[in-house]
Each structure stands twice: as C-alpha cells, then as structure tokens.
Structure 1
C-alpha cells in the first residue's frame, strides 16, 4: 500500500510522522479551458492522488523527499525563490512561500510524498501536490487557513513559481471533491454545487497517451492571452459574459484563429451547463454527445489536441459501448476520459492498447477510476 510505504519511509528517515494527508487528482467531465475565462467547469476528485507525511524538525532546514522519483531537496524558510527547472520542488517552494506571504508562521518541517497519480496525464498531479502541502502544513502548524484560502495559495504557487497561469478548477476539485459526486464550479464566484452522478451501467475509464508535447505550457499561456484580448475588445470582463452574436460583431477585427478560440470557450461554457442538466436527468447518452462535441472544439477550434488524443477519441466513437469520450486537461497529451459500459472495459482496453502501440510505437496506460473525497487527513 502506498500509504504504508510513505509512512514507513518517513519513519526510517525522520521518526514517526505527526500527520498524513491524501490529496486527490481530478478529472473534468466537461468544461475545458473555461475556468480562466470565469466560466463553468464540471470536475470531480478521483481515487488516485498524492500521499504525504509531515513532521516538525529541530534543524534550520526543511527536508523534502519525493519518494517516487527518489529525489530530495532541502531549503531554508528565508528568501524562498523559484528554481530554474525546479519541477516538483517549485510546487513545494511556492506553497511554502505563499503561506509565509499570508502572514502565517511556520518552522522547518520534514515531508515525504508519493502517490499513484500519473504525472503529465492531465489529472492535475501538480494541484494534488500543492494541496497536499498547504493542507498538511495548515494542520501541522495549526494555521487556521480555510479551504478557500488554501486553494488560492496553491494556485498562486502555480502562477508565480511554475509559470503556468492556471485557473482555479484543479485546486478546487482536488480540495473540495466528494465521493460519487461532480462539482459544477462557477469560476467567477468560486462557488460550487454538487451533483450526485449515477453512471448506471457505465463507468469512467481514463486512457493516458503517455505523451506531453513540448508546447503545452507556452500554448496554454498563449490561449489565455487570446481570451483576455478578445474579452477586452468586446468590452467585457471575461468570455463568460459573451455570446455568439456578440463575438460575431467583432469577427472582422480579429484573426480567424482567435475568433475560433473565443467561440470554442463560449460554446464549451454552454455545453457544461447542459451537461449538468443531463446528469440530473440521468441522460448518459446526451452527456456523452456533449463530451464528443467538446473534443471536436478542442481539436479544431482551440487546437490543443494532438494526434494521439484524436486517435483514442476516434476509436471510442466507433464503439457502441462508449457513450462519450474527449481529451481532458490542458492538451497536447495526457488522458482521454471515456464513459464505457462496465462489461466492455477489459476487451476495449486490451484492443485499444494494442492498436495504440501499433500506431505510435509506444504504450498507452489505462486507469479505472471512481469519484472520491477531496484533500483530507488520513
């Protein structure tokens, strides 16, 4: 068990941990790239994530061990700055600095973490780690931070220490997720309504392309800049406030590529709201069609898909046992999310893995996941 492995590793290095935290990754049923446009998203926490053990220490150094990567890092609490090519270290550093910037007092600590959430799969391993760190330190030092305050510290770390201008969805879903439930998150008010999901004879299957194309972060930031530019031309706060007729009124003022990106965001926001209605009606067929249309927009309008993702979604469309499929996450790699009949999972996974290997000469990875509780003490 991962939990026991983390605990025993901490104990071997530092003694008995003061506490342990589980912080889940997240999937997003629909609503991609709408969060930083102050729109709606429909995410859920999953039963894969980061396990972290914490303890106070007497030295002047914070000591962190990333068990899965067999890497460690030590730092002081004075003058914390981002590292060049810092990877996971910058998430830990950014959250620690955010806590200090919030006026909270902490002393050096020890941290050991690891998990079963695949990095780069579009399941927000970064948000899971950020939330694990802020939640664990909040408990360890009795800081009194609310969950809302914690997720903004996590988001700020991503912005200022990692350089990805992400919205709030990943951190929110990881922190506030509930078992067998998805959250309709309004990314303007940062308020959410929970909806029980009855997938009936279906279940969620994630297929990881195991690729992450190099332009993912720069392309993400470029698209965010395009959305903000179009909103400014329209004289609105964010694309959440636009509709298609309003966008068409400036179509001749902007390049077609930017028009299509903005149109995708407006349409995806509407699809997300329709998906909630479908869930309430237990209409899996309609939810699936909305997912397919979401992928089409991500592929052809927002242009954040890739050949590997499109291959997996195209295969899903041909299979009557799959109600819906789409790419998930920032794009250019990561996972597809599929709603598939439970009795078809094994056969479909095997055949798809074989076809993917033949096509791309690399393996994909398949994960069966369930909707889980958000960041919590264990």
Structure 2
C-alpha cells in the first residue's frame, strides 16, 4: 500500500468535498504468460501486483458528479442525465463508461464525488485502466448498495473499455485486478471465467519489470485489428473462437487467408499451449523451462503476431544473452510498455546497471525498473489503514 498516495487522496477529498469517503484500492497486474489469448477464449496466467489505483468516493448532494485525477491535476464535472463518451477524453471516458455500463445493468448510482490516483506508470502495460475501472465500480457498488457481484463488476469494467474507450480488450486485466490473491498467480480460463489460484516460488529468481518508456495507445494501435483477424478466421472454420482451432485446421484453409493472418492465428494457438506448459513448469519449480517459454512467447509476438517494437526486442535480446536471466518477454497489449524478466536475485543490481547503460546508449533515452510483489485484488480500505 502506497501510504503517502493514500494520505494525499484522502486529504484532497476531505478538503474539497468536506465529507468522509469510501476508500478503494485496486491493483494493476502482471501477466506471466498468455498474451492476446484472452479475447480468443483461451488461457492466461496473470497476477495482481502491489502497484495500482487508490480511489476515494463519496455521495454528492450537488446536481452533478465530480471526478479529480490527482496525478494529472485535472478535474471533470458531469451530469448523470448525459453520460456519453468525451472526444479525446482520456481517463474521463473510463469513469463515464463505468457509470453508463452500471446503468445498462439496471442499477442506478446517485451523484458522487471521486478523487483517484495511482503509482502505475501510464502506458507501461500494467493495466492502470482496469485498476481505475474496478476501483470505481467497486466503490459505487459499496456506496449505493447496488448488489453487484465481483464477476458482474469486471464485466462492467470490460464493457466500459469497449464502448467508451474503443479498445476491444479481453477480460484478463479486469479479472486479475479484481480477483488477485497475495503471493499467488491465477490460471484463468477466459471462456467460462473459471480460475485456479496457486502460489509461485521463483526460488533464486525474482520478477523484474523493465519499462521501455515507449507508451502504447491501444485504441490507436493495431490491437483491435488483431482481434478482428482472430474472430474472422474462427468464423471461417465455424469455431466459437481460436481456442478451438488447431494447426491442422489452419492448414486446411491456408489458401483462403493471407500468410500474415495465418501467422497471427498460429501465434495464438501456440501461446495458449505455452500457458498450460508454464503452469506445469511452475508446479514443478522448473524455472529453466518457464524461462524458455517466456522467450518463446516473445519470439511469437515479435515474428508472428507482430506487436513488439524495437526497444522491447532489444531488452529481450539482452536478457537472452545474459546467463543470469532465466526468461523474458514483452508484456501487455504491445507496441510499447514493459518486459517481464526472471533475474537471479543476487545479480539484480548488476543486471539493472548493464541494461540501463546499454539501453541509453542504443536509444538515447532511459528505461525504468520496477520490483513488484503479488497482491490481493480490489478491496475497500478501512479508514484506520
């Protein structure tokens, strides 16, 4: 828990609205393996982390709702009578989208005041958007006694992103943020949302996130195009999703789809298989195999799905060359953000120094490093915390 962030948010809320808020903590997430498999109804292996969004929410007696983004020093006032997307609205559309989707479920929140902030770097691929969505829907559910289940809440968050932000995301980010468990990863079946939480022991290794500081904008990228390709190919094969498609199925229609799209679908099938192999490796404490799967995942994203960038490829190649790194790959939607690396604990500082210097020399800019721990999902913070 970021105690200074919590204090600043509570203080600003009380000073601005002269009321006691409900405080919600909602984490970001890492994804150990399983990228772009969620919207193909496949498997993913995410975990909530100890970085996220803290939101203070209270009822408003005024005629409008007010939201304040403390990090950006921005505020937004809107009426519940007109909840529509704002052009180039940024964070505002996440807030508006959640309100709209709650109402689409037949629930009616009243006017509210919101102050939020976080310690997830924007554009890092750690799902600050899902953390914000979940914090708001969870807080409004608590504040107005809406009776929503956690599963209903994550679907509201996902639809907000679809309809108000324009990103046709899968359910992984919202699920991991809402249902995360301390020191555990979640094997999530994105078809039926069944999951299994199990502890992870990386032994002599530790997770190190390296931010390329290339900011991805998913709605401006080829993310939605990738999803459309996957759905089109599944439809050609009369399958519900690529989850049900085999390599043999793809070969049977290779004269009906482009080579590029064939490669994209091959990546998804292979990545789905890698998730299940990774779970087996983790259960066997087989870090070597897990690392090899991470490298293979990145290779597929780079050469088949084509969602990496020069900076991410550089970071993974440096990891591949280093004997103290078991595995690494790009993490998140793509086109920027972080790599996830399994690095020997006693070599962390020397590895960071090596990467920092080589990255700056190559790209004339800095990369950033984050140490994260696996945490609990979205929850209310008692005022004594």
TM-score range, shorter chain: over 0.9
Cα 1:216–1:206 shift into 2, 3 Å: farther
* 1:144 paired residue number: 147
Does the 8 A contact of 2:165 with 2:219 survive in 1?
Answer: no
TM superposition score normalised by structure 2:
0.97
Does the 8 A contact of 2:167 with 2:218 survive in 1?
Answer: no
TM superposition score normalised by structure 1:
0.98
Alignment deviations for residues 302-340 of structure 1 (CA, whole Å, 9 cap, x no partner): 000000000000000111111110000110000000011
Match of 1:282 among 280, 285, 288: 285
- 2: distance between equivalents of 1:357 and 1:10? 40
Q: CA RMSD in A?
A: 1.0
- 2: distance between equivalents of 1:107 and 1:16? 16
* 1:68 paired residue number: 71
Does the 8 A contact of 2:176 with 2:186 survive in 1?
Answer: yes
Aligned: 1:48 with 2:51: yes
Cα 1:97–1:144 shift into 2, 3 Å: same
Alignment deviations for residues 258-304 of structure 1 (CA, whole Å, 9 cap, x no partner): 00000000000000011111111111111110000000000000000
Write the mapping of 1:230-309 to structure 2, written as runs, cut at 5 A.
Answer: 230-309=233-312
Match of 1:356 among 356, 359, 369: 359
Match of 1:17 among 20, 38, 41: 20
* 1:195 paired residue number: 198
* 2:105 paired residue number: 102
Secondary structure of the equivalent of 2:33? coil
Give the unaligned 5+ runs of structure 2.
Answer: none
Cα 1:277–1:217 shift into 2, 3 Å: farther
Alignment deviations for residues 177-223 of structure 1 (CA, whole Å, 9 cap, x no partner): 00111101101001111111011111111001111256764400111
Does the 8 A contact of 1:216 with 1:331 survive in 2?
Answer: no
Q: Figure out how many residues of one structure are paired with residues of the other and give that number.
A: 378
Residue 238 of structure 1: how far off its partner (Å):
0.5
* 2:230 paired residue number: 227
- 2: distance between equivalents of 1:324 and 1:241? 28
Residue 101 of structure 1: how far off its partner (Å):
1.6
Residue 79 of structure 1: how far off its partner (Å):
2.2
- 2: distance between equivalents of 1:342 and 1:105? 50
**Runs of 4+, deviation exceeding 6 Å:** none
Secondary structure of the equivalent of 2:328? strand
- 2: distance between equivalents of 1:222 and 1:303? 12
- 2: distance between equivalents of 1:164 and 1:342? 37
